[in-house]
Structure 1
Amino acid sequence: MSDNTLLSNIDKIKGFDLNLLLTFEAIFIHQSVSKAASLFGITPSAVSQSLTRLRSFFDDPLFVREGKGLVATTVAENLHTHLSEGFGQLINSLDYFKDTSTKSKFIIHSTAYGAMRILPPICSKIETTNLRCEISHISADASLNNDEDILIYRKADIIFDTKPYYSFSTVTEQFITEQTVPICRKDHPRLGSTLSIEDIARENATLLMTGSEGVKRFQNDVLEHFGEREFSFSSSSIIAITAITESTDCISFIPLWFAKKAALSFNIKTLETDFVADPVTFYMTYNRSSLKNKNFTELLKVINGCKELY
């Protein structure tokens, strides 16, 4: 069911007390007002008042007295047929989320690179534990992210980002730090093993397009140290940046971890330089209220236990 259809259906029944349907089901099953009242812990008079409202809404008596019990009308029979399946699914869903031993699905929001860097050790660790959970990753360009909206509207359970987000309702922790290094293709015609200010001025460069505050700070540090660069390619993908670097004479800056990984598959080499910028920090942010979920706290233990693996 689409959101628009759901909203349309809600608009149709606004003003109707859905608790009346629970009362109807209790009367239908027990064929008694007094037994329904006992089930809910209320007076028979209160149940009778609810039945009166139901009769008015459906324009039907719903139940008629026969002997000492009540007999459902055709309208009531049809109503029960339609309600029983829906109530069964609703109760099963509530039991699913109430049972903390049930498998849980947790959504993690980060850039594609953030997921590639952070999630593998976590998923590997989950496999070796008894934690019943499914991890779903949502990838988005950091320039389009709004961590506040993502957390407030529960679009994700955990956010990994280079920007910390602090509020009374969230918890933000420093997770890992990333050092960034310059790279070029192995057979670059003019560069050996080092990179100087003169080299930067002479060669074309690539630019990682991102709204990440940590990456932007690093890019500003590069600008202050090396001066203006001539960009011939830009992308929001580190993989694309690396692929272009191995096929051209461009110089690129990528995370050291990824440079070591990429060197096994791409025709690139890491360049030495006297430039050392502050590392880029990834932060983990989540809603404080999520700590009430037992499986979520177990997931946090797994995540924090993986920090030594990065």
Structure 2
Amino acid sequence: MNFEGFDLNLLVAFNALMLERNVTKAAALAGVSQPAMSAALSRLRRVFDDPLFIRSAEGLLPTAKAQEMAIPVADALGQVRHLMQPAEVFDPTAKQRSFTLGLTEYPMHVLLPALTKKLAAVAPHCTIHVRYFIDRDEVVALLDTGKIDIAVGVPPTRAENRILSQPLLRDDFVTLVGRDHEAARKGMNLRAFLSMRHILVSPEGNHYGLVDQQLREQGLTRTISLTLPTMFTVPALLSGTDYVATVLRRVGTTSASQGDIIMFEPPLALPSIPFDLLWHRRTQDSAAHSWLRQVISQVASDLK
């Protein structure tokens, strides 16, 4: 390739196509017409001798070559932008700004109340939109497409180098019963645990969970009598019933029903669960995004 004759605007077009996965939307992002964006895509395909983007029902899907190019191109454009523009300054007390947070159930209940109070105090002109997601791997697509700016959830099963993260919160499991449950008087051991009627929390609608996996390794099973999609409803269901539930500790300690439940350490070994702050590499150097990440980190630190 004759680099001296290469049109660097093609990299701008490529980056817009990677972000939007749609020619019309990419054209709007790059500030050009749709025909100009289509022409740029054709030139990119010739230059790199690769289709780069394949049409599908979900939009333009990047090829392996496009995925390989995405981060170097975004980083290069970021460095050029940094050279040509003065350093960005974000004043949360004066600027109007809208952010979309992707949250799973746990941070929505544990982190969001304190976060909204903090933001109302330090950024009165900022608007926060919350998008709920369930699947831990869904967050990658949400960040890729720009549908969310920042996410808090269990880390995706597969690391992607364009998705950046930092540890935010961690919680361990506890076993809960109602205060009037027989176990509240006699205590909890594995034998008693297996004899009880269990509540299983599964946002995906599965009929087994981490507890069942751990029991299965020991050749054991439990009786599941109720399945739920959310964990923070559990404490209110325990009083006056013979149900037992194994959930994250803050589910019990933050519940309005805390006085009606008894909390035990689970009678089997269970790992603690991490919750990370996640964002896309393209927003790494944004002053506004960096400010919001710092606020979220501070709020989470105060919860520990």
Q: Which category describes the TM-score, using the shorter chain as reference length? A: 0.5 to 0.7
1:140 corresponds in structure 2 to: 133
Give the structure with the higher percent helix: 1
Which shifted more, 156-165 or 98-107? Answer: 98-107
Which of 117, 140, 159 is the aligned partner of 2:151? 159
Give the SS at the match of 1:309. helix
Distance 1:16 1:271, change over 3 A: closer
8 A contact 1:121–1:309 mirrored in 2: no
Which of 246, 251, 255 is the aligned partner of 1:258? 251
Which of 284, 288, 297 is the aligned partner of 1:295? 288
Q: Distance in 2 between matches of 1:226 and 1:279?
A: 22
1:129 corresponds in structure 2 to: 122
Distance 1:16 1:273, change over 3 A: closer
- Counting matched residue pairs gives 218
1:105 corresponds in structure 2 to: 98
Which whole-Å deviations, capped at 9, do the CAs of 1:62-99 have from their partners, x for residues lacking one? xxxxxxxxxxxxxxxxxxxxxxxxxxxxxxxxxxxx99
1:78 corresponds in structure 2 to: none
Q: Distance in 2 between matches of 1:249 and 1:172?
A: 41
Aligned-residue offset at 1:217:
4.5
Give the SS at the match of 1:227. coil
2:239 corresponds in structure 1 to: 246
The answer to whether residue 171 in structure 2 is matched with residue 178 in structure 1 is: yes
Aligned-residue offset at 1:155:
1.0
Aligned-residue offset at 1:264:
4.3
Aligned-residue offset at 1:228:
0.7
The answer to whether residue 203 in structure 2 is matched with residue 205 in structure 1 is: no
Q: Distance in 2 between matches of 1:167 and 1:16?
A: 31
1:155 partner amino acid? K
Q: Distance in 2 between matches of 1:298 and 1:131?
A: 14
Which of 225, 230, 237 is the aligned partner of 1:232? 225
Q: Distance in 2 between matches of 1:200 and 1:181?
A: 12
Give the SS at the match of 2:235. helix
- Structure 1 residue ranges without an equivalent (≥5): 1-5, 18-97
TM-score where L is the length of structure 1: 0.60
Q: Distance in 1 between matches of 2:134 and 2:202?
A: 9
Q: Distance in 1 between matches of 2:277 and 2:204?
A: 17
2:52 corresponds in structure 1 to: none
8 A contact 1:203–1:249 mirrored in 2: yes
Q: Percent identity?
A: 14
The answer to whether residue 272 in structure 2 is matched with residue 279 in structure 1 is: yes
**CA RMSD for the aligned pairs?**
3.3
Give the SS at the match of 2:119. helix
8 A contact 1:184–1:268 mirrored in 2: yes
The answer to whether residue 173 in structure 2 is matched with residue 194 in structure 1 is: no
Q: Distance in 2 between matches of 1:14 and 1:277?
A: 53
8 A contact 1:204–1:231 mirrored in 2: yes
Aligned-residue offset at 1:241:
2.7
Distance 1:223 1:206, change over 3 A: farther
Q: Which structure is larger by alpha-carbon Rg, 1 or 2? A: 1
Q: Distance in 1 between matches of 2:217 and 2:231?
A: 22
TM-score where L is the length of structure 2: 0.61
Which whole-Å deviations, capped at 9, do the CAs of 1:22-71 have from their partners, x for residues lacking one? xxxxxxxxxxxxxxxxxxxxxxxxxxxxxxxxxxxxxxxxxxxxxxxxxx
- Structure 2 residue ranges without an equivalent (≥5): 1-23, 38-87
